[in-house]
Structure 1
């Protein structure tokens, strides 16, 4: 409870190992509170929480197995990139050649190898995020908790981050990510949509879109839109005509062939539903 507000209310979540799991939802929905609870930064008023097979109260044994990247600036501004990396490596007892190798490969991944002597406090926002992620990964955690990790990161590097996250998941590690970016949520194996402290919907991106009642549709340019729309309706299709364009909702892609056997469009475009549309629908906006 926060000043009478129940931040996580009746929340039940089971996240499998080896998955990329996206926490999606509007500001104030409870995403960050949930992540903070996982790492033991918030004491729960009720309920039960187990992390990596252990009760969350087992903080000492859990911390070395978890990597947590917070939204807030958690690095030391007066230390260089290299020194921050060495500090976090030391916290987890990583030394010698292993430390040297691990720092080198992570700085290369986040494209900071040429900036290792710069002070963290002098980095741009995007570069700071990259260093923060590298420090979070230094001890090769089994569970990675990333609170909006790609804010300020350019699209190309963001793509390389996601390739790395997918690699971690393929190795059996679990990656939990909170984000407002719909294209990132679509990359995850499981999406949990939170609203007002509750899990409003959970499943794969396709399952979330089905929960929102969204379906793909065809946009057809036809010589006689009204005539062909009437013909398609007689075959049981859900059709609307707008601006001379015929739109048909379909349940499965195999129906496209069936439609083309009924009419001959001048042009055709298939529009797949997006997770953003599902987000707006579940939020009651659309």
Structure 2
């Protein structure tokens, strides 16, 4: 799918000589430290950024050779990519028209999307007035409005509360049953629980490509730093798992776990015992530990 791609902005290469074979259905994760080139690679695959060299092949056709190939790709950037002064419905009309679809098609697709995304409360809201959660929903609706075979999502759960992030992950897993989803994340447990395959970038280069099981084995004995914010104290749960405290306050913790297996146990225990407000790992630190800065 991705053949010898080098790309960037002006004269600065951000990703170099990337080769990836990615097939669906399933979820393909792209991870790496900040500045490693994840978002640039996603833009190249989506046909937004043209590479300096190499090409992206979709259904046997280079994505830049035929404009209709882009119809099979749906892309949601980290900033969601909606026109803030327009309502969601108007955004959908504009986007659909760019791909050659009319108002009737938009309305028909909305009927389908209503089955698994809450649409009506935000459909006629200006996108610039939406909350983070509403914007994520709006972005997903815009990304899926043309029923793409390949869905590309740049950190789709970023900034969401735990409950809504769980709903978004469930939606993405549902999409991946019959299409390819390519997504980035900074959350280790999203990588391990959702992904089928993974690519790890460091300084614009591909340093790992394999299955999630292979990546899990690489991580097996590596420590994980974790931030947890809850509505109640969870000292008892944390202490029962022999976890090192970096910072501890009432419902506000930074802890260091010896390995990813302890992370899985902690997730299970916390989901039973408390209401988690926020939960995130330092994935950048973990990748740097594995592959250098």
Superposed pair shares fold, TM > 0.5: yes
What is the CA–CA distance in structure 2 between the aligned matches of 1:148 and 1:126, rounded to whole Å? Answer: 13
Q: Does residue 282 in structure 1 map to residue 290 in structure 2?
A: yes
CA spacing shift, 1:105–1:159, aligned 2, 3 Å: farther
Residue 40 in structure 1 maps to residue 47 in structure 2: yes
- Size of the aligned set, in residue pairs, is 233
Which residue is equivalent to 2:75? 68
The match for 1:179 among 173, 176, 185 is 185
Q: Does 1:209 align with 2:200?
A: no
1:194 aligns with 2:201: yes
Q: Which residue of 2 aligns with 1:118?
A: 125
Q: Distance in 1 between matches of 2:162 and 2:119?
A: 16
Alignment of 1:272 onto 2:272: no
C-alpha contact 1:201 1:211 (8 A) present in aligned 2: no
Q: Is the 1:67–1:136 Cα contact (8 Å) retained in structure 2? A: yes
Q: Are residues 133 and 194 of structure 1, via their aligned partners in 2, closer, same or farther at CA, if it must alter by over 3 Å?
A: same
Q: 1:271 deviation in Å?
A: 7.0
Greater fraction strand:
2
CA distance in 2, matches of 1:146, 1:48: 20
- Cα 1:196–1:158 shift into 2, 3 Å: same
Root-mean-square deviation (CA), in Å?
A: 3.1
Tell me the TM-score normalised to structure 2 length: 0.68
**Paired residue for 1:55, among 44, 50, 62?**
62
Q: Which of the pair has more CA radius of gyration?
A: 1
Aligned pairs for 1:225-244 (under 5 A) are none
- TM-superposed CA distance for 1:4, in Å, is 5.6
1:17 aligned onto 2:24: yes
1:280/1:7 CA distance change after superposition, 3 Å: closer
Which of 25, 33, 47 is residue 26 of structure 1 equivalent to? 33
SS in 2 for 1:32: helix
Q: Secondary structure at the match of 1:12?
A: strand
Match of 1:143 among 140, 143, 150: 150
Asked whether the equivalents of residues 126 and 151 of structure 1 are also in contact (C-alpha less than 8 Å), the reply is no
Q: Which residue is equivalent to 2:251?
A: none
TM-score, normalised by the number of residues in structure 1: 0.70
Contact 2:15 2:37 in 1 (8 A): yes
Gaps (5+ residues) in structure 2? 1-7, 224-240, 243-258, 264-280
Flag the 1:78–1:5 CA change in 2: closer, same or farther, 3 A.
closer
Deviation, structure 1 residue 16: 1.4
Residues 65/126 of structure 1: CA separation in 2 closer, same or farther (3 Å cut):
same
Q: Does 1:168 align with 2:175?
A: yes
Match of 1:133 among 99, 122, 140: 140
